[in-house]
Amino acid sequence: THSYTKYNSWDKIQSWIASISSSNPGLISKQVIGSTYEGRPMTLLKLGKMSSSTKPAIFMDCGIHAREWISPAFCQWFVMEALSTYGTDAQMTSLLDQMDVFVLPVFNIDGYDYTHKTNRMWRKTRSRNSGSSCIGTDPNRNWNAGWCTVGASSNPCSDTFCGQTPESEIEVKNVADFIRRNKSIIKSYITVHSYSQLLLFPYSYTYDLAADHSELLKVAEGASVALNSLHGTRYTIGPGAATIYLAAGGSDDWAYDLGVKYSYTFELRDTGRYGFLLPESQIKPTCEETMLAVKYIAAYVQSVS
Ligand code: 0X9
Ligand code: ZN
Ligand code: ZN
Instruction: Tell me the average pLDDT across 245-262.
Output: 98
65 CB under 6 A from ligand 1? yes
ipTM: 0.96
Q: What is the model's pLDDT at position 35?
A: 98
Per the annotation, the verdict on 221 as an active-site residue is no
**Of the bound ligands, which one is closest to the alpha carbon of residue 287?**
3
Residue 204 CB less than 6 A away from ligand 1 = yes
User: How many angstroms is it from 30 CA to the middle of ligand 2?
Assistant: 25
Domain coordinates in residue numbering, the chain: 21-304
Contact present, 125 and 111 (Cβ < 8 Å)? yes
Q: Residue 181 above 90 pLDDT? A: yes
Neighbouring CB atoms inside 10 A of 173's CB total 15
pLDDT in tens, 208-242: 999 999 999 999 999 999 999 999 999 999 999 99
DSSP 36-61: -TTS-EEEEEEES---SS---EEEEE
Q: What predicted TM-score, i.e. pTM, was given to this entire model?
A: 0.98
Q: Is 284 helix (H, G, I), strand (E, B) or coil?
A: helix
Check pLDDT > 90 for residue 25.
Answer: no
Give the pLDDT score at 52: 87
Could you tell which of 61, 62, 64, 65 is best to mutate to test the pocket of ligand 1, judged by most ligand atoms within 8 Å of the CB? 65
Residue range 97-125, pLDDT digits in tens: 999 999 999 999 999 999 999 999 999 99
Of the ligands numbered here, which is closest to the C-alpha atom of 205?
1
CATH of domain 21-304: 3.40.630.10
